[in-house]
Amino acid sequence: MKKDSRKPVDIKRMTRIFKALSNENRLELFLEILKVNETCFETECAECFITDIMETLSIGAPTVSHHMKELTGAGLVITERKGKFLTARINDELIRELSDIFYRDKS
């Protein structure tokens, strides 16, 4: 309804986000976390154990560790150490921001 109602975009920040999603294994990691995040409702569950996902992928632990850092560094996911394990959940706020960027007014 409004023309030019789009927020200016921080290019560097955005490219970092897209770069984080531009690798197959990293995207799968992200989508898996997203899926877990969505399959739970009330209850503050939404926690995803990285070890479990790892077995699905065909890459080693060091690489997964590296990828997770890219995802968190971009702000896409938030991690927390649960004892021996690492858990991750989606940063909903950033995802909403991305959704806005791609949202198109059906004129």
Which residues are at the interface with a copy of itself (CB under 8 A)?
3-4, 6, 9, 11-12, 14-15, 18-19, 21-24, 27-28, 31, 35, 38-39, 41, 92, 95-96, 98-99, 102-105, 107
When CB distances are held under 5 to 8 angstroms depending on the partner's kind, the choice from a copy of itself, DNA, none that residue 76 binds is none
Query: Which residues is 77 bridged to in the sheet?
Result: 90
What's the DSSP call for residue 26? H
Residues 61-66: contacts with CB under 8 Å, at least 24 apart? 63/25, 64/25, 64/29
Q: Which amino acid is at 101?
A: I
Looking at the Cβ atoms of 55 and 105, the one nearer to a copy of itself is 105
d(CA 25, CA 63): 9
Looking at the Cβ atoms of 8 and 62, the one nearer to DNA is 62
When CB distances are held under 5 to 8 angstroms depending on the partner's kind, the choice from a copy of itself, DNA, none that residue 2 binds is none
